[in-house]
Chains A and B, each alone.
Chain A
């Protein structure tokens, strides 16, 4: 047994498990472990790309106005699962999806379901912030001004509202017409969030949104997530169990299967239950190993 495992184990018991409570501790959200009606319901979802199985028989439910965390080691298919939720998986050549995902009770893979409309209601934030080579203002309006007709004043109002919501307004209000690419990487990520918020999605998918960011920006994004969930539902992929602990209400834990290598759902539970479980300890050890190795 290596020393790092012992250290990881100790960390699991000490700071993480007994640390400050799950995301549901904020006053406005639903009480922990109480399921309201699910907004997203994934049933028996399997994904393969070419001949490789990526996800195997995943089922989970994402309740309204909660933060659902997806944790697990690299290669477990967390990002693939996220990309299924807004059907972006269809952009991957050779991807095959079976099973179903219901959004508001409707099957999103049904032939009549418009994937573009789906993506206006389920927004996405990527690991690396993607800002377009244009001004801050035009970045915020990039999506929405193509989705519906905006008057000039509506546009101005929306830019301010979205940037406020993404906690970026005070930093950029004097230079809305400056290029977005001079912003720091943490600011760029919040700009991406503002751009997504401008289209007013019900669900925001976040694919390790803070892994490219420094500690301060990470903190900003985390407190943003807690604030956003009063009105929206968030599915957050994260490597960081501490982050999952701080902001999520529900946690799904994916792990690659020993036999096939495809990701399986080890446990899907409310945050408090998950962080008390044996699964959590195991995953924490794996992740600690991952980090030590990389």
Chain B
């Protein structure tokens, strides 16, 4: 083996390991800072009481609830079209690869739109055109559109991986295309929708820009009772405002607490779904 080859053989894994360590260090650093600064302000009262004194006192109950409402709405908005687009893309456009590529291109384009653009579009549509005022539904819809590509791509991946032999066997039994969708395509691929939903929800929960103009307020909102003029509080927006405006040490401690709660919330979703995801397919247990 020549010296240069030996060098490459040594360098490549070293560089790869360094890069991996960089990523790992970043995660550990962020979590560390959040824990050190935020853990102190988290207690039961913090999680279950309303904000007082502009964030310096009280808790973040309604911010947590608001965020949950927003991501639940986003999921409800995004899941049906994701399912429809996924089936169209893989099942109905099977013999039309060009049309399928157009769908892919559109999804990627949608995924590439910056979140602040969603924010101003929402401002234009929901606030100016529909005159909703600030509304939880507007934010939920915007977040739903934003995470739609994540859900769809993840579902399409699973749909495309459904073994051809299952489809042929079902066709051979005389099942109609619709029956094959419910009997084979969907049971074989809904873990993809789940995985995509988790990734999407994690993203939606942390987004500030789309809800900035049309949904979130800093204080004074509790649970929505209608659509118009029913804003909600949200964790990322709370963090955003506190970070900009807090000169008070107590408020700053609460800021870190809120940020930590946001991270834990997202982590909870992922962890809760992990066993479900691994066990979803009987196939995975036997093969």
> Hey, which bits of chain A sit against chain B, CB under 8 A?
86, 88, 91, 93, 116-121, 123-124, 126, 128, 130, 132-134, 142-143, 146-147, 179, 181-182, 192, 195-196, 199
Indicate whether B84 reaches chain A with its CB closer than 8 angstroms: no
Q: Are A192 and B169 in contact (CB under 8 A)?
A: yes
| Contact A126–B172 (Cβ < 8 Å) | yes
Within 8 A of A (CB), among B239-286: 281-283, 285-286
Task: Contact check, B172 vs A124: say whether CB atoms are below 8 A apart.
Answer: yes
Known: A128-B165, A181-B287, A192-B169. A117 touches B282 (CB 8 A): no
* Chain B residues, Cβ within 8 Å of A86: 172
Give chain B nearest CB distance to A25 CB in angstroms. 30
Q: Which of B148-192 contact A (CB under 8 A)?
A: 165-166, 168-176, 179, 183-184
12 A-B contact pairs sorted by A residue (CB < 8 Å): A91-B168, A119-B171, A119-B173, A119-B174, A120-B174, A123-B173, A126-B169, A134-B282, A142-B183, A143-B175, A182-B286, A195-B173
The B contact surface, by secondary structure, is helix
Contacts of B166 in A (CB 8 A): 130, 132
Determine whether the beta carbon of A120 is less than 8 Å from that of B165.
no
Where the two chains meet, the residues of B that have a C-beta atom closer than 8 Å to any C-beta of A are: 95, 165-166, 168-176, 179, 183-184, 281-283, 285-287
Q: Which of A88, A130, A133 contacts B283 (CB 8 A)?
A: A133
- CB nearest neighbor in A for B174: A120
* Contacting residues, chain B, for A182 (C-beta < 8 A): 286
Q: Nearest CB to that of A199 among chain B residues?
A: B173
| Smallest Cβ-Cβ distance to A120: which chain B residue | B174
Are A130 and B287 within 8 A (Cβ)? no
**Those 5 A-B pairs whose CB atoms lie nearest each other, nearest first:** A120-B174, A143-B173, A119-B174, A124-B172, A133-B283
Q: Out of B165, B172, B183, which one reaches A88, CB within 8 Å? A: B172
The answer to whether residues A130 and B169 also contact, given A120-B174, A146-B175, A147-B174 and a CB cut-off of 8 A, is yes
If A88-B168, A130-B168 touch, whether A181 touches B286 (CB-CB below 8 Å) is yes
Q: Of A91, A118, A130, A181, which contacts B174 at CB under 8 A?
A: A118
Q: How far is the CA of A91 from the CA of B175 in the complex (A)?
A: 14
A123–B173 alpha-carbon span in the complex (Å): 6
- Identity of the chain A residue whose Cβ is nearest the Cβ of B165 in the assembled complex: A130
Bound form: Cα–Cα A118–B184 in Å: 20
Query: Cβ of A118: which chain B residues have Cβ within 8 Å of it?
Result: 174
